[in-house]
Amino acid sequence: MRFRVSRSSPIGRTMSPTKVNGTPEEVEAAYFRVASRIRYRLQLFNNLSFDQVDRLRIEVKMKKLLESS
């Protein structure tokens, strides 16, 4: 089973289950893994307080400023 990694994803490196070559069970497992990761990330985001979200927004803006320099 092979995965293609997308480096342009806003979340970072994500695997696309549409690129999996394998048995139907392997393809289903790939979709399940991606769905599980998305669910986990949403749970993490949902558990953030507003203060943490603001801090994250500032960190992202600072990173973009540093990269554009």
SS3 11: coil
Beta bridge partners of 5: 15
Distance separating alpha carbons of residues 10 and 2, to the nearest angstrom: 22
Mean pLDDT of 19-35: 91
CA 14 remoteness from chain centre? 5
pLDDT band at 45 (very low <50, low <70, confident <90, very high): confident
Distance separating alpha carbons of residues 43 and 18, to the nearest angstrom: 24
pLDDT band at 69 (very low <50, low <70, confident <90, very high): low
Token pair of 25 as six digits: 């069970």
Q: What's the predicted TM-score (pTM) here?
A: 0.53
